[in-house]
Amino acid sequence: MKSGQPKGHMIKEIQKGSIAMELDIQPGDRLLAINGKEIEDIFDYQYYVESEYIEVLIEKPDGEQWLLEVDKEEDEDLGILFENGLMDDYRSCHNQCIFCFIDQMPKGMRETLYFKDDDSRLSFLQGNYVTLTNMSDHDLDRIIQYHLSPINISFQTMNPQLRCKMLHNRFAGEALKKVDRLYQAGITMNGQIVLCKGINDGEELAFSIRKLTEYIPVLESVSVVPVGLSKYREGLYPLEPFTPEDAAEVLNLIHGFQEEIYARHGIHFIHASDEWYITAGRELPPEEVYDGYIQLENGVGMLRLLLNEFQEGLKEQKRREIGKNAYAGEVSMATGKIAYPYILKMAKELMALYPLLKIHVYEITNYFFGELITVSGLLTGQDIMAQLEGKALGERLLLPENVLRSGEEVFLDDVTVSQMENALQVKIDIVKSSGYDFIDAVLGERKDTEQP
């Protein structure tokens, strides 16, 4: 506990039907200790609440302290949400990576968008990737002690000198030794390599993959993603975009390693993100190559999963033997350049099944960050509105959920959904990222329950 701060951790919310609700723990109370141990942060909390019997010390707003004895199922949570999700200050990144996208953002956006996190606790909680340069020995000891996993690591390269250069941190190469400790302790890891042309590609990439295979099976997967280059790079390290020929070379190298690794370990291990296939003009791999979509959040297999789910959903529509005229109407959808050809193909197949259905699909160019940024998750409200103005939008405009801030109806540039509806004079539906939801949204049969 830092000096000057009140003791314990402020409780923000109690989940309905939870153990905490039964014990009359309230928002505004403070958690002081579990089993007599002061709780430093979420690492400690998650570890101690796993036990079947715990003693929880709570302090009420008036200063009264309650010691509560809890018998519960192993791993059953108390149902407490804290004011600070980490139960501690967020740790910012001290690297100055040559590929950092936050450094490529224009001025004047909301302050939270400029925060660089490199917090190992966010890797455990939210799947964020960390460089290990900001992970203290104390954190490493606790990860091993509590056996917290998985930990997601931004490797970039296994060449220590090159890693120092890429992260602009003289300790970045030394930090790779922490991987050895995690491996020896059996802490599950996943990895990422942000590929920069002429820097960590080619032979350097081959070297990194060979070194990383030494950590299989504790290191379960590694994704290779191309560096994102916005138009705001004045004064930054000179980086070039990958050409179709470059992308083909990257894929050839990765596919060669996949064959070799699969023969030895039964997993493909090293994965290319979807952008490489689109840039190279190649077909996406079949589902089995993605090892259960283990790197989905890094854009690895996202389009293959979308297409497969859509085809399954389309088969279900056909099995239901719904009349061709059952669905009529006109809707529109907008997406980024990378997904546009696939969304258009899906729309055409759905229209072929229901001839009275009209779907307009629009590709949105990212003028805000620059035309090299092609993913829908970095589209802004202003770009979408400007490029859809005067277009046929039908009764509803469908947008992918990743254009919004998580849990909110606000775009990256603070444009709200209601503002866009007023500007374009159309009802907007936000669609989840599955092929099943695509069909449901277009047909107006969206479900509140999760699809398989």
pLDDT in tens, the chain (452 residues): 444 455 788 899 999 999 999 999 999 999 999 999 888 877 788 888 888 999 999 999 999 999 999 998 887 889 998 876 655 555 556 778 898 888 888 887 766 665 555 555 555 555 578 889 888 888 899 889 888 888 999 999 999 999 999 999 999 999 999 999 999 999 999 999 999 999 999 999 999 999 999 999 999 999 999 999 999 998 999 999 999 999 999 999 999 999 999 999 999 999 999 999 999 999 999 999 999 999 998 899 999 999 999 999 999 998 887 778 888 899 999 999 999 999 999 999 999 999 999 999 999 999 999 999 999 999 999 999 999 999 999 999 999 999 997 778 999 899 999 999 999 999 999 998 899 999 999 998 754 434 33
Q: What is the pLDDT of residue 452?
A: 30
Show the 3-state SS of 62-76: CCCEEEEEEECCCCC
C-alpha 294 chain-centroid distance: 12
> What's the rounded Cα separation, in Å, for the pair 91 and 134?
8
> What's the rounded Cα separation, in Å, for the pair 277 and 227?
15
What is the sign of the dihedral through the CA atoms of 150, 155, 161 and 165? negative
Q: Which helix (H) or strand (E) holds 360?
A: strand 357-363
Name residue, tokens 């696939």.
342
Domain boundaries defined on the chain: 9-82, 102-299, 305-443
Q: Which CATH number does 9-82 carry?
A: 2.30.42.10
CATH of 102-299, one of 1.10.340, 3.90.1200, 3.80.30, 3.30.530: 3.80.30
Q: Are 232 and 369 in contact (CB under 8 A)?
A: yes
Question: Which residues pair with residue 33 across a beta bridge?
Answer: 38, 57
> What's the rounded Cα separation, in Å, for the pair 232 and 107?
10
Q: Identify the burial level of 429 via C-beta atoms within 10 angstroms of its C-beta, where 0-12 means exposed, 13-18 middle and 19 or more buried.
A: middle
Class of domain 305-443: alpha beta
Q: What region does 407 belong to: left with phi over 0, alpha with psi -120 to 50, or beta?
A: left
Structural tokens at position 405 = 């801030």
